[in-house]
Amino acid sequence: MPRLFVGLELSPDTKRALARAQDKLAAHGLSKLSWVDPEKLHLTLKFLGSVDEALLPVLTQNLKDACHGFPASSAVLSNLGCFPTRGQVRVVWAGLEQESPRPLADLAARIDQALMSLGYQKEDRPFSPHITLARARKPIALDTRSIIDAAKLEAIAASWKLLSLFESKMSPTGSEYRVIESFELS
Protein backbone atom coordinates (compact mmCIF):
# COMPACT_ATOMS: atom_id res chain seq x y z
CA MET A 1 0.00 0.00 0.00
CA PRO A 2 1.48 3.35 -0.98
CA ARG A 3 2.08 6.09 1.63
CA LEU A 4 0.34 9.20 0.35
CA PHE A 5 -0.03 12.87 1.16
CA VAL A 6 -1.75 15.86 -0.42
CA GLY A 7 0.37 18.94 -1.00
CA LEU A 8 1.01 22.04 -3.01
CA GLU A 9 3.84 22.13 -5.50
CA LEU A 10 6.03 25.22 -5.26
CA SER A 11 7.19 27.31 -8.19
CA PRO A 12 10.85 27.00 -9.30
CA ASP A 13 11.51 30.57 -8.10
CA THR A 14 10.16 29.75 -4.65
CA LYS A 15 12.29 26.60 -4.47
CA ARG A 16 15.43 28.58 -5.43
CA ALA A 17 14.73 31.22 -2.77
CA LEU A 18 14.18 28.53 -0.13
CA ALA A 19 17.44 26.82 -1.17
CA ARG A 20 19.25 30.10 -0.44
CA ALA A 21 17.55 30.20 2.98
CA GLN A 22 18.73 26.63 3.64
CA ASP A 23 22.31 27.62 2.77
CA LYS A 24 22.11 30.61 5.10
CA LEU A 25 20.81 28.49 7.97
CA ALA A 26 23.47 25.83 7.42
CA ALA A 27 26.14 28.55 7.51
CA HIS A 28 24.75 29.79 10.85
CA GLY A 29 25.35 26.49 12.62
CA LEU A 30 22.63 24.09 11.52
CA SER A 31 24.88 22.01 9.28
CA LYS A 32 24.20 18.82 11.31
CA LEU A 33 20.67 18.63 9.93
CA SER A 34 19.59 16.74 6.81
CA TRP A 35 18.45 19.39 4.36
CA VAL A 36 15.49 18.67 2.12
CA ASP A 37 16.51 18.68 -1.54
CA PRO A 38 15.10 21.97 -2.92
CA GLU A 39 13.45 20.04 -5.78
CA LYS A 40 11.41 18.13 -3.17
CA LEU A 41 10.19 21.18 -1.25
CA HIS A 42 6.39 21.36 -1.02
CA LEU A 43 3.65 22.44 1.36
CA THR A 44 1.78 19.47 2.85
CA LEU A 45 -1.95 19.96 3.33
CA LYS A 46 -2.87 16.46 4.55
CA PHE A 47 -0.92 13.29 5.30
CA LEU A 48 -2.97 10.21 4.39
CA GLY A 49 -0.62 7.40 5.38
CA SER A 50 -0.84 3.96 3.75
CA VAL A 51 -3.74 3.85 1.29
CA ASP A 52 -5.33 0.83 -0.37
CA GLU A 53 -4.70 1.19 -4.12
CA ALA A 54 -8.34 0.27 -4.78
CA LEU A 55 -9.31 3.63 -3.21
CA LEU A 56 -7.17 5.70 -5.60
CA PRO A 57 -9.89 6.38 -8.21
CA VAL A 58 -12.35 7.67 -5.59
CA LEU A 59 -9.61 9.52 -3.71
CA THR A 60 -8.41 11.34 -6.83
CA GLN A 61 -11.98 12.21 -7.86
CA ASN A 62 -12.72 13.61 -4.39
CA LEU A 63 -9.56 15.73 -4.54
CA LYS A 64 -10.45 16.94 -8.03
CA ASP A 65 -13.90 17.95 -6.76
CA ALA A 66 -12.37 19.73 -3.75
CA CYS A 67 -10.13 21.80 -6.05
CA HIS A 68 -12.87 22.70 -8.50
CA GLY A 69 -13.25 26.47 -8.58
CA PHE A 70 -10.54 27.04 -5.99
CA PRO A 71 -8.19 29.79 -7.15
CA ALA A 72 -4.44 29.54 -7.54
CA SER A 73 -2.94 31.60 -4.75
CA SER A 74 0.19 33.13 -3.38
CA ALA A 75 1.58 34.02 0.01
CA VAL A 76 4.68 35.38 1.63
CA LEU A 77 7.07 33.10 3.48
CA SER A 78 8.77 35.15 6.16
CA ASN A 79 8.98 33.04 9.31
CA LEU A 80 11.43 30.37 10.37
CA GLY A 81 10.74 27.93 13.16
CA CYS A 82 11.43 24.47 14.47
CA PHE A 83 9.62 21.49 15.94
CA PRO A 84 9.55 21.02 18.79
CA THR A 85 9.83 24.68 19.72
CA ARG A 86 11.90 23.88 22.81
CA GLY A 87 14.53 21.31 23.56
CA GLN A 88 15.81 18.90 20.98
CA VAL A 89 15.18 19.93 17.39
CA ARG A 90 13.71 17.51 14.84
CA VAL A 91 12.47 19.84 12.06
CA VAL A 92 13.31 23.33 10.78
CA TRP A 93 10.61 24.99 8.68
CA ALA A 94 9.64 28.13 6.77
CA GLY A 95 6.19 29.52 7.50
CA LEU A 96 3.77 32.04 6.09
CA GLU A 97 3.06 35.56 7.26
CA GLN A 98 0.08 35.71 9.61
CA GLU A 99 -2.27 37.18 6.99
CA SER A 100 -1.33 34.65 4.31
CA PRO A 101 -2.70 31.28 5.49
CA ARG A 102 -6.45 31.95 5.18
CA PRO A 103 -6.88 30.69 1.59
CA LEU A 104 -4.72 27.67 2.41
CA ALA A 105 -6.77 26.93 5.52
CA ASP A 106 -9.90 27.05 3.35
CA LEU A 107 -8.33 24.61 0.87
CA ALA A 108 -7.20 22.29 3.69
CA ALA A 109 -10.77 22.34 5.08
CA ARG A 110 -12.15 21.44 1.64
CA ILE A 111 -9.72 18.53 1.43
CA ASP A 112 -10.67 17.34 4.93
CA GLN A 113 -14.35 17.46 3.94
CA ALA A 114 -13.75 15.66 0.64
CA LEU A 115 -11.88 12.81 2.33
CA MET A 116 -14.28 12.22 5.23
CA SER A 117 -16.37 9.87 3.07
CA LEU A 118 -13.25 7.67 2.76
CA GLY A 119 -12.85 7.46 6.53
CA TYR A 120 -10.28 10.22 7.02
CA GLN A 121 -10.78 12.36 10.08
CA LYS A 122 -10.72 16.13 10.15
CA GLU A 123 -7.48 17.46 11.65
CA ASP A 124 -7.83 18.20 15.38
CA ARG A 125 -5.10 20.79 15.56
CA PRO A 126 -5.29 24.21 13.94
CA PHE A 127 -3.95 24.39 10.39
CA SER A 128 -0.36 25.64 10.47
CA PRO A 129 1.05 25.75 6.93
CA HIS A 130 4.81 25.37 6.67
CA ILE A 131 7.49 24.02 4.37
CA THR A 132 9.99 21.62 5.94
CA LEU A 133 13.53 22.77 5.17
CA ALA A 134 15.51 20.27 7.27
CA ARG A 135 15.14 17.26 9.53
CA ALA A 136 17.32 15.70 12.20
CA ARG A 137 17.78 11.95 11.99
CA LYS A 138 18.03 12.03 15.79
CA PRO A 139 16.88 14.98 17.91
CA ILE A 140 19.66 17.56 18.17
CA ALA A 141 20.18 19.84 21.16
CA LEU A 142 20.99 23.21 19.63
CA ASP A 143 20.30 26.80 20.48
CA THR A 144 18.15 26.80 17.38
CA ARG A 145 16.14 29.84 18.34
CA SER A 146 19.19 32.11 18.31
CA ILE A 147 20.42 30.56 15.05
CA ILE A 148 17.03 31.06 13.40
CA ASP A 149 16.87 34.62 14.72
CA ALA A 150 20.38 35.33 13.40
CA ALA A 151 19.67 33.83 9.97
CA LYS A 152 16.44 35.86 9.50
CA LEU A 153 14.41 34.75 6.52
CA GLU A 154 14.01 37.42 3.89
CA ALA A 155 10.44 37.56 2.63
CA ILE A 156 9.91 35.02 -0.16
CA ALA A 157 6.97 35.28 -2.53
CA ALA A 158 5.43 31.83 -2.89
CA SER A 159 2.79 30.79 -5.37
CA TRP A 160 1.06 27.55 -6.22
CA LYS A 161 -1.13 26.50 -9.08
CA LEU A 162 -1.12 22.74 -8.55
CA LEU A 163 -2.47 20.58 -5.78
CA SER A 164 -0.92 17.12 -6.00
CA LEU A 165 -1.41 13.68 -4.56
CA PHE A 166 2.09 12.45 -3.73
CA GLU A 167 3.45 9.02 -2.93
CA SER A 168 6.26 9.00 -0.37
CA LYS A 169 8.78 6.15 -0.28
CA MET A 170 11.46 5.92 2.36
CA SER A 171 14.99 5.15 1.21
CA PRO A 172 18.41 5.18 2.91
CA THR A 173 19.00 8.65 1.44
CA GLY A 174 15.66 10.06 2.64
CA SER A 175 12.15 10.32 1.28
CA GLU A 176 11.46 9.96 -2.42
CA TYR A 177 8.31 11.61 -3.77
CA ARG A 178 6.30 10.73 -6.84
CA VAL A 179 3.32 12.70 -8.07
CA ILE A 180 0.38 10.36 -8.62
CA GLU A 181 -1.96 13.04 -9.92
CA SER A 182 -2.08 16.84 -10.00
CA PHE A 183 -5.08 19.13 -10.02
CA GLU A 184 -4.89 22.64 -11.39
CA LEU A 185 -6.15 25.43 -9.17
CA SER A 186 -8.04 27.91 -11.35
pLDDT score, position 124: 85
Tell me the per-residue pLDDT of 87-101, one tens digit each, with 9 for 90 and over.
Answer: 677 888 999 886 666
Q: Which of 107, 42, 39 is nearest to 73 (CA)?
A: 107
Report helix, strand and coil shares of the chain as percent, to nearest 5. 35, 40, 25
Tell me the per-residue pLDDT of 20-43, one tens digit each, with 9 for 90 and over.
Answer: 999 988 888 777 789 999 999 999
Q: Quote the number of domains for the chain.
A: 1
Give the separation between CA 24 and CA 109, rounded to whole angstroms: 34
* DSSP conformational letter for 166: E
Question: H or E stretch including 182?
Answer: strand 174-184
Instruction: Please state the pTM of the whole predicted model.
Output: 0.89
Cβ neighbours of 43 (radius 10 Å): 22
Kindly report the average pLDDT of the chain as a whole number: 89
Q: Which domain holds residue 89?
A: 3-184
CB contact at 8 A, 96 and 104: yes
pLDDT band at 113 (very low <50, low <70, confident <90, very high): very high
- Specify the CATH number for the domain of residue 57: 3.90.1140.10
- Label residues 82-118 b or e (16+ Cβ within 10 Å = b): beeeeeebbbbbbbbeeebbebbeebbebbbebbeee
User: From residue 180, how far is each of 4, 5, 6, 160 by CA, in Å?
Assistant: 9, 10, 10, 17
pLDDT score, position 39: 95
